[in-house]
């Protein structure tokens, strides 16, 4: 069965990299939502040990308990919604590097996506950047790809091994540039 993709590959095209952000980038977000999820439990235990009379009165109340249960339910549903939105944004941001082009898929929230494409021979400069303690320890960072096109800079955000990716993109760019120069020499006009 043939795999469905958001961009149709060309016949001679081979996928070199499929990049996503490093897992460590999402780990901090995951911990944040775990802490938010434990707040009602911590409050319940706090009131149970310090104000047990008030807690028993609230739990036995016909009006306060349902309102409290509804509030906690809304709280947890909101946490799940924001967590899912964060995960979708993290997981669905994707960069594909082939032997002919780079395709950037940028997910923005749940219902918006931008897909950009760049031919390798149009690249002017590739820069990698690693800033900070955790990026240095876990070896992830940004890779900037500079062109003269309308979208001046492609950005691979927080990808693993940015120096290795930068070097491989430069090699692919030079190979693609040689191919396009040879096609221009054969046909006498630029091959787009």
Percentage of residues in the chain having pLDDT higher than 90? 47
pLDDT tens digits, one per residue of 129-167: 999 999 999 999 999 998 876 666 788 999 999 999 999
Token digits of residue 118:
């760049």
- Asked if 158 contacts 135 with a C-beta cutoff of 8 angstroms, the reply is yes
What's the confidence (pLDDT) of residue 1?
Answer: 45
Angle (nearest 5°) at CA 112 between 107 and 115: 60
| CA neighbor of 121 nearest in space, from 165, 167, 177, 178 | 177
- Asked if 173 contacts 102 with a C-beta cutoff of 8 angstroms, the reply is no
- Asked if 129 contacts 118 with a C-beta cutoff of 8 angstroms, the reply is no
What's the confidence (pLDDT) of residue 188?
Answer: 61
Q: What is the pLDDT along the chain (192 residues), one digit of tens a residue?
A: 455 566 667 777 888 889 999 999 999 999 999 999 999 999 888 888 888 787 777 777 777 778 888 999 999 999 999 999 999 999 999 999 998 889 888 888 888 888 888 888 888 889 999 999 999 999 999 999 988 766 667 889 999 999 999 999 999 999 888 887 877 667 666 555
The DSSP secondary structure of 74-137, one letter per residue, reads: HHHHHHHHHHHHHHHHHHH-EEEEESSEEEEEEE-SSS-EEEEEEEGGGEEEEEEE--SHHHHH
Rounded CA-CA distance 26/34 in Å is 12
């Amino acid at each position: 069965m043939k795999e469905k993709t958001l961009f149709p590959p060309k016949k001679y095209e081979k996928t070199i990299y499929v990049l996503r952000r490093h897992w460590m980038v999402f780990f901090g977000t995951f911990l944040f939502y775990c802490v938010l999820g434990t707040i009602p439990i911590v409050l319940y235990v706090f009131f149970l040990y310090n104000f047990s009379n008030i807690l028993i009165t609230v739990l036995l109340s016909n009006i306060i308990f349902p309102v409290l249960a509804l509030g906690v339910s809304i709280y947890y549903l909101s946490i799940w919604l924001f967590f899912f939105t964060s995960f979708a944004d993290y997981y669905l941001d994707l960069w594909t590097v082939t032997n002919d082009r780079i395709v950037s898929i940028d997910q923005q929230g749940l219902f918006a996506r931008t897909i950009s494409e760049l031919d390798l021979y149009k690249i002017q400069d590739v820069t990698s950047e690693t800033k900070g303690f955790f990026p240095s320890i876990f070896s992830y960072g940004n890779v900037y790809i500079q062109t003269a096109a309308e979208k001046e800079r492609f950005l691979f955000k927080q990808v693993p091994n940015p120096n290795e990716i930068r070097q491989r993109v430069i090699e692919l760019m030079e190979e693609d540039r040689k191919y396009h120069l040879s096609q221009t020499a054969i046909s006498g006009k630029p091959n787009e």
